[in-house]
Amino acid sequence: MNSLIFKRVKTKTTLSYNNFDKYLFLLIAVGPVLAGYILFGLFPNILTLFYSFTRWDGISPKIFVGLENYINILKDINMWTSLYHNLIILIFVPVVTIIFSLFLAYALVNKGFKENKFYKVLFFFPNILPAIVITLLWSFIYDGEFGLLNAVLKLIGIDMQSFYWLADEKIAIFAVMVPMIWVQTGFYVVIFANAMMSIPKSLYELARLEGASHFKQMFQITIPLIWGVIKVAIIFTAVGTIKSFEYIFMLTNGGPYDSTNVIGLYMFNMAFARNISHQYGYASAVGMFLFVVLVGINYIIDRLFSKEQSQF
Amino acid sequence: MKRKFSIGDSVWRFGLLIWALGIAFPLIWIIVMSLKTNQEFFLGAWSLPSELQLNNYIKAWVKLGIGPSFLNTLYVLVFGMLISVFFDTMNAYALTRIEWKGRNFIKGLIFMGLLLPGINALVPLYTIMRGLGMVDSLNGLILVYGFGGSVFDLVVLGSFMSSIPIDMEESAHLDGATVFKTFWHIIVPISAPGIVTISIFKFLTLYNDFTLPFILLNDSKKYTIGINMYYANEIMQYSSNWVSLCAGIVISLIPPLVVYILLQKRVIEGATLGAVKG
């Protein structure tokens, strides 16, 4: 109570305790987390760089080889096909995800259908599922003999016989993208719907008075006004496609005939696949390469879209 | 208020319905599949179970090893969550509300973690854990989950804590409360919604994590549920007990489903928060 008598001279946002208790608290509060972060977060990143200059199977002593691994990356045909697959995914997944989620979010926000509230919850749902559940579900859907996809297609008159969607060299890369889109779209529906809700309704009413269609309203009002959010979503989904290899690992493990291999998966298998001799040094160099690719993509997308934004 | 629906409206409505079916139908389908016999399973996607084969679930639990792996997951989840939420809450308080030398440096160092993709550091993470003798150990997993630090937690809790009026702490301070008391009696209760949010996310991320347990656990007795399901699928080409695998899928999606049904609003809000951090 007596504290109320004191008047604060300037607004403070932090308190300075000056005693033994404070340092004990700090020690417990910061020490373990910082130690864990350094040991499991920072240190491994530095070690990757170190490993990348060695030849090492993980068991026998490391041999320092200088830039050999990096030179091998340039010559490694698997590396370039994997990078090519990464690029295909990088283009398709963000574009499709964002277009779908923009339309769905627009319908949820601007159309007063009574089922909309339920849809929002349902669309988001796949995001909370473990990757293994999603991929096993989809490998059942894609199955040739008893799969849901062939059954649905047959229902609408397209007979695929017993076509295995994940076993076809040309189709598999597209088949592995569908679950990614299936999951992520619901996430961006929520993000975009939240952003769209802050757009004043009067803007749409005005456009409607002038006879603008929903399409026109969406492209001339909604999208420009939430462009900042869309841009972040593009970066997020793009970077996500490079980072994530779990779906592909579980669905096809890069096959058939490496037609779905991506860099992350290539690195992962080199280091962790069972029953092969591991190449930690080379895998680390690939990891560093991946890091550079990620930074590059971030930079390019940022550059590409920051100019366009100034138009609005 | 009644609204008239036009033809245009029904196109929009149809689009929404298609997406909703695209999400819900496969999930319902897999539940139906999990209740068939293996013979019915091979009759095709539309065949319905003549009798609900609930013992598929028992087989999945016992023969596919979901039971033990479920317990392993539970063990890792409980301790991983308790440790990380406890330390991250203290850490967030120390980094946002207490003044000390080096605070900004440490804060910057931890936030730098956002720039690290993680995937490129899997090999050293494994060798470090091997060096610590933590391969094939559930406690090793807990160690990484518990102390790995999470910027998401810091952002969520930090924003909660910095909105607490400083006067409350100050008066407690002047009344002679130690920093521990202030933390426990003032900060923790007020930050409770934030703590709940990060706990939900911790639950979902730890339950859904695949890569780390996959590289750390070789011993099948130590498998977490995700790893167990992965290997259960691998052996299907020899045992082809597909209906049990379907039952396994359904079992593994129950925990996140329950969390989502009970707390969907918080989950969706928290996920949006998480997106803002980057």
Q: Among A111, A118, A97, which Cα is nearest to A188's? A: A97
Nearest CA in chain A to B173: A17
CA angle B113, B116, B118 (to 5 degrees): 110
Q: What is the pLDDT of residues B94-147, one digit of tens each?
A: 998 888 888 899 988 888 887 777 788 889 999 999 999 999 999 999 999 999
Q: Per-residue confidence at A140, pLDDT binned at 50, 70, 90? A: very high
Query: Within its chain, how far is the Cα of B141 from the centroid?
Result: 14
Residue A6: list chain B partners with CB under 8 A: 174
Per-residue model confidence (pLDDT) at position A174: 94
Q: What is the domain range of residue A86?
A: 70-309
> Which residues in chain B have Cβ-Cβ distances shorter than 8 Å to A104?
15-16, 19
Examine residue A51 and state whether it is found in any structural domain, yes or no: no
Nearest-angstrom CA–CA distance, A21 and A10: 25
Provide, as residue numbers in chain B, all residues whose Cβ is less than 8 Å from the Cβ of A125.
23, 260
- Does any CB of chain A come closer than 8 Å to the CB of residue B152? no
Structure confidence at residue A16 (pLDDT): 62
Q: How far is A311 from chain B (nearest CA, A)?
A: 24
Summarize the confidence of residues B236-240 as an average pLDDT: 77
> Where residue B211 falls among pLDDT bands split at 50, 70, 90?
very high
Chain A touched by B124 (CB under 8 Å): yes
Range from A2-6, A213-217, B52-56, B142-146 carrying the lowest mean pLDDT: A2-6
Question: What are the phi and psi torsion angles at A256 (to 5°)?
Answer: -75, 140
End-to-end CA gap in chain B: 41
Residue-by-residue DSSP string for chain A: -GGGGPPPSS--SSB---SHHHHHHHHHHHHHHHHHHIIIIIHHHHHHHHHTTEE--SSSPPEE-TTHHHHHHHH-HHHHHHHHHHHHHHHHHHHHHHHHHHHHHHHHHHS--TTHHHHHHHHHGGGGS-HHHHHHHHHHHT-TTT-HHHHHHHHTT---TT--GGG-TTTHHHHHHHHHHHHHHHHHHHHHHHHHHTS-HHHHHHHHHTT--HHHHIIIIIHHHTHHHHHHHHHHHHHHHHH--HHHHHHTTT-STTTT--HHHHHHHHHH-TTS---HHHHHHHHHHHHHHHHHHHHHHHHHHHHHHTT-
If you average pLDDT over every residue of chain A, what do you get?
87
Please check whether residue B184 touches A, CB under 8 A: no
- pLDDT exceeds 60 at position A5: no
- Judged by a CB distance cut-off of 8 A, whether residue B33 touches chain A is yes
pLDDT score of A58: 82
- Rounded distance between C-alpha atoms, residue B146 and residue A117, angstroms: 36
Give the pLDDT confidence of B192-209 residue by residue, as tens digits.
Answer: 988 998 999 899 999 999
pTM score, two decimals?
Answer: 0.89
**Is A33 a domain residue?**
no
Structurally, chain A folds into a number of domains equal to: 1
Provide mean pLDDT across the span B250-266. Answer: 92
Mention every residue, 6+ apart, whose C-beta is less than 8 A from residue B267.
A124, A128, B200, B201, B204, B259, B260
Residues of chain B found within 8 Å of residue A108, distances taken between Cβ atoms: 16
Residue A54 lies in a domain: no
| Residue B76 in contact with partner chain A when CB distance is under 8 A | no
Q: Report the range of poorest mean pLDDT among A25-29, A33-37, A246-250, B52-56.
A: B52-56
CB A89 within 8 A of CB A173: yes
Q: Report the distance separating Cα A85 and Cα A175, nearest Å.
A: 13
Give the pLDDT score at B22. Answer: 95
pLDDT tens digits for range B154-177: 888 988 888 888 888 888 877 878
Q: Is the pLDDT of residue A37 over 60?
A: yes
Q: Is residue A300 part of a domain?
A: yes
Q: Which of A103, A141, A151 sits opposite B15 (nearest CB)?
A: A103
From chain B, the residues in CB contact with A185 under 8 A are 19
Interface of A with B in 209-228 (CB under 8 A): 213-214
Residue A4 lies in a domain: no
Given an 8 Å threshold on Cβ–Cβ distance, is A22 in contact with B259? no
Helix or strand (DSSP H, E) at B134: none
Do B178 and A21 count as a contact with CB atoms less than 8 A apart? yes
Q: Between chains, do A33 and B87 touch, taking CB under 8 Å as contact? A: yes
Residue A54, strand partner residues: A64
The larger pLDDT score, comparing residue B239 to residue B70, is at: B70
- Expressed in angstroms, the distance from the first to the final Cα of chain A is 55
How many beta carbons lie within 10 A of that of residue A285, not counting itself?
A: 28
**What pLDDT sits at residue B148?**
82
- Which of B162, B171, B229 faces A132 most closely, judged by CB atoms? B229
* pLDDT for position A300: 86
Number of Cβ within 10 Å of residue A57's Cβ equals 13
Q: Residue B236 above 90 pLDDT?
A: no
Which two structure tokens, joined as six digits, stand for A56? 């090492």
Tell me the average pLDDT of chain B.
Answer: 87
- Our CA-based measurement puts residue B63 at a distance from the nearest CA of chain A, in whole angstroms, of 18
Averaged pLDDT, B40-58: 83
pLDDT at A4: 43
Q: Do A26 and B100 touch (CB under 8 A)?
A: yes
User: Quick check: A204 pLDDT over 60?
Assistant: yes
* Domains of chain B in sequence order: 59-277 (1.10.3720.10)
Residue A224 falls inside a structural domain = yes
User: CA A97, CA A92: separation in Å to the nearest integer?
Assistant: 8
Is A11 inside any structural domain?
A: no
3-state secondary structure of B34: coil
User: In this complex, do A236 and B246 lie within 8 Å of one another by their Cβ atoms?
Assistant: no
Chain A interface test: which of B123, B219, B246 (most A C-beta within 10 Å)? B123
Contacts of B261 in chain A (CB under 8 A): none
Restricting to A residues 142-181, those with a Cβ less than 8 Å away from any Cβ of B are 145-148, 150-152
The alpha carbon of B15 is separated from its chain's Cα centroid by a whole number of angstroms, namely 30
pLDDT bucket at B48, cuts 50 / 70 / 90: confident
If one compares B74 and A214, the residue with the highest pLDDT of the two is B74
Over range A162-169, report the average pLDDT: 89
Neighbouring-strand partners of residue A15: B98
Convert B43-74 into a string of H (helix), E (strand) and C (coil): CCCCCCCCCCCCHHHHHHHHCCCHHHHHHHHH
Of B116, B127, B171, the CB nearest to A45: B116
Q: Flag whether pLDDT at A99 surpasses 90.
A: yes
* Residue range B212-231: mean pLDDT, rounded: 92
Average pLDDT, integer, range A134-144:
93
Judged by CB atoms closer than 8 Å, whether chains meet at B23 and A133 is answered as no
Higher-confidence position of B275 and B269: B269
ipTM summary value: 0.90
In a domain, A36, yes or no: no
Q: Which pLDDT value is given to residue A192?
A: 93
**What average pLDDT does range B234-247 have in this prediction?**
84
Q: Collect contacts of B254-263 with beta carbons under 8 A, ≥24 apart.
A: B255/B207, B256/A128, B256/A129, B256/A130, B256/B204, B256/B207, B256/B208, B257/A128, B259/A128, B259/B200, B259/B203, B259/B204, B260/A125, B260/A128, B263/B200
Q: Which amino acid is at A199?
A: I
> Which residues of chain A lie closer than 8 angstroms to B178, CB-CB?
21
CATH number at residue A122: 1.10.3720.10
**CB proximity A21 to B under 8 Å:** yes
Chain A partners within 8 Å of B246 (Cβ): 140
Who wins on pLDDT, B234 or A6?
A: B234
Q: Does A108 touch chain B (CB under 8 A)?
A: yes
| Three-state DSSP state, B133 | coil
Using CB atoms, pick whichever of B3, B20, B121 lies closest to residue A287: B121
Q: Is A197 on the interface with B (CB under 8 A)?
A: no
Residues 74-93 of A with CB under 8 A from B: none
Check residue B4 and give its pLDDT. Answer: 56
CB contact under 8 A, A187 and B271: yes
- Best residue in A16, A37, A48, A262 to probe B by mutation, most B CBs within 10 Å? A37
Mutation test of the interface with chain B: which of A128, A239, A253, A297, choosing the one with the most B Cβ atoms within 10 A? A128
**Interatomic CA distance for residues A27 and A25, integer angstroms:** 5
